[in-house]
């Protein structure tokens, strides 16, 4: 499959996809994009705006994964509103722009949009909820129990065992970048569901 991996980060969702697919990753932060490229050297890595790239290239891919920024939707962040240090933020509505765009425009391929469970009732009902994340898609995603790769609260740089993130001096908050990863096993499970249902449709 030709896969578009938007808001790629350091590629948690992509970790267990293997090497049989052609993956194009889009990441806005050039230093994080460099880490992704070092981790997955066979992938095409684009440093740029994910929404702009999606708008211009969505027809070129069989499967699209989007993990737009989640902090402004997070229950954890917004549960701290009583603290003096709390700074209110508008929720980033690009999440719903992407979902609606893909729902309307993707007819033959498959897509999934991932984000955390929000502090409000989702404006669009997710197709699946696994662990602490919602998934919007145009194919069936079986909900599964997964083992966490790490405990979010205690994540350390040493959590990553397949490559050394400490060498990337331009990545200021390395712990945040690690936390932002999608669970590896969920990423693998969802791609397998997409491939299986694509194969059935073309049979």
Strands 2-6 and 22-27 turn out to be: parallel
Mean pLDDT (the chain, rounded): 90
Q: Are 17 and 25 in contact (CB under 8 A)?
A: no
Give me the pLDDT at residue 87, please. 77
- pLDDT higher than 90, residue 193: yes
Q: For 121-145, give one letter per residue: b (16+ CB within 10 A) or e.
A: ebeeebbbebbebbbbbbbebeeee
Stretch 12-29: mean pLDDT:
97
Greatest mean pLDDT range, 27-41, 83-97, 171-185: 27-41
Burial class (CB in 10 A: 0-12, 13-18, 19+), 60: exposed
How far is CA 181 from each of CA 10, 87, 151, rounded to the nearest angstrom?
7, 24, 12
The model's pLDDT over 88-121, given as tens digits with 9 standing for 90+, comes to 778 788 999 999 999 999 999 999 999 988 888 9
Give me the pLDDT at residue 75, please. 64
Give me the pLDDT at residue 32, please. 97
The alpha carbon torsion through 186, 187, 192, 198 (nearest 10 deg) reads 120
The model's pLDDT over 135-154, given as tens digits with 9 standing for 90+, comes to 999 999 999 988 776 656 66
Strands 2-6 and 110-116 turn out to be: unpaired
Q: Are 134 and 126 in contact (CB under 8 A)?
A: yes
Q: Which domains does the chain possess?
A: 2-147+184-202 (3.40.50.150)
Give me the pLDDT at residue 203, please. 58
Dist CA 96 CA 45 (whole Å): 25
Percent of the chain whose predicted confidence (pLDDT) is above 70:
89
């Amino acid at each position: 499959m030709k896969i578009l991996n938007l808001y790629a980060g350091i590629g948690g969702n992509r970790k267990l996809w293997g090497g049989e697919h052609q993956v194009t990753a889009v990441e806005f932060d050039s230093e994080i994009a460099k880490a992704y490229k070092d981790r997955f050297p066979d992938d095409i890595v684009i440093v740029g705006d994910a929404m702009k790239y999606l708008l211009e290239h969505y027809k070129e891919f069989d499967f699209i994964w989007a993990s737009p920024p989640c902090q402004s939707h997070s229950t954890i962040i917004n549960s701290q509103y009583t603290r003096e240090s709390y700074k209110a933020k508008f929720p980033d509505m690009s999440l719903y722009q992407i979902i609606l765009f893909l729902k309307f425009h993707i007819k033959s391929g498959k897509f999934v949009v991932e984000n955390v469970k929000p502090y409000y009732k989702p404006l669009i009902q997710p197709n699946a909820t696994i662990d602490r994340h919602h998934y919007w898609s145009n194919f069936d995603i079986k909900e599964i129990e997964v083992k966490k790769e790490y405990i979010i609260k205690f994540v350390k740089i040493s959590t990553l065992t397949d490559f050394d993130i400490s060498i990337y001096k331009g990545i200021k908050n390395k712990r945040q970048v690690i936390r932002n990863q999608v669970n590896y096993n969920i990423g693998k499970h969802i791609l397998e569901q997409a491939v299986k249902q694509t194969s059935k449709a073309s049979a």
